[in-house]
């Protein structure tokens, strides 16, 4: 029995020691282009889903009115589109270099319309560690975080005016010096 317990303790200690040595050796995949480590996705997703299930708000304090959806468009365009892109646009160069890849939230594969708005709100507010998803809890108001969450919840059924505002191209910048015309010599 004593040999069994000693063997068990040594076996239990070998796993974390082996993992530590693996990480210290410089062979662990840490670049964004590298494949994930064994079980990395499993542990990250398991922890994320459990935390969100426990902490995400269950009730939405704001309705999905046109005004709130338009507010969500403004928040999304200013804070989210750089990584998650706009409808019918390719991902930005930065988004293409991220690991894991940020979902294109207005594409069929990337939509989160089946998630409760509270889950999206939690992600917007808190961010997701080790993914590049920042938390906006200190930079956006509670209303703004709910507005963008409502926009994403209803991404597949937006009113035409809201969808048009989301897809509109940004205004082109004015040339330096205003609209001055050159004098002919």
Q: Residue ranges of the domains in the chain? A: 66-167
| The pLDDT value given to residue 18 | 86
CATH tag, 66-167: 1.10.760.10
pLDDT means over runs of 10, the chain (185 residues): 88 87 85 81 93 97 98 98 95 93 95 97 95 96 98 97 89 51 49
pLDDT the model gives residue 182 = 47
Asked if 170 and 92 touch (Cβ cutoff 8 Å), the reply is no
pTM of the full predicted structure? 0.80
Q: How far apart are CA 14 and CA 11, in angstroms?
A: 5
**CA distances in angstroms from 14 to 7, 22, 26, 36, 73, listed in the order given:** 10, 12, 19, 22, 52
Q: Do 106 and 155 form a contact (C-beta atoms < 8 A)?
A: yes
Alpha-carbon separation of residue 177 from 173, 181, 182 (angstroms): 12, 10, 11
> pLDDT value at position 177?
53
């Amino acid at each position: 029995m004593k040999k069994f317990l000693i063997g068990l303790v040594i076996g239990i200690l070998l796993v974390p020691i082996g993992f530590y040595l693996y990480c210290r050796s410089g062979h662990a995949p840490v670049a964004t282009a590298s494949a994930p480590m064994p079980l990395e996705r499993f542990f990250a997703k398991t922890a994320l889903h459990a935390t969100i299930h426990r902490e995400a708000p269950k009730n939405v304090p704001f309705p999905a009115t046109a005004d709130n959806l338009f507010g969500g468009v403004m928040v999304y365009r200013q804070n989210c589109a750089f990584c998650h892109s706009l409808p019918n646009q390719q991902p930005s160069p930065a988004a293409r270099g991220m690991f894991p890849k940020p979902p294109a939230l207005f594409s069929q594969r990337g939509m989160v319309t089946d998630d409760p708005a509270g889950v999206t709100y939690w992600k917007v507010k808190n961010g997701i560690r080790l993914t590049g998803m920042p938390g906006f809890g200190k930079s956006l108001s509670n209303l703004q975080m709910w507005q963008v969450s409502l926009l994403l919840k209803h991404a597949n059924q937006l009113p035409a005016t809201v969808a048009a505002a989301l897809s509109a191209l940004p205004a082109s910048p004015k040339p330096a010096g205003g609209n001055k015309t050159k004098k002919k010599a």
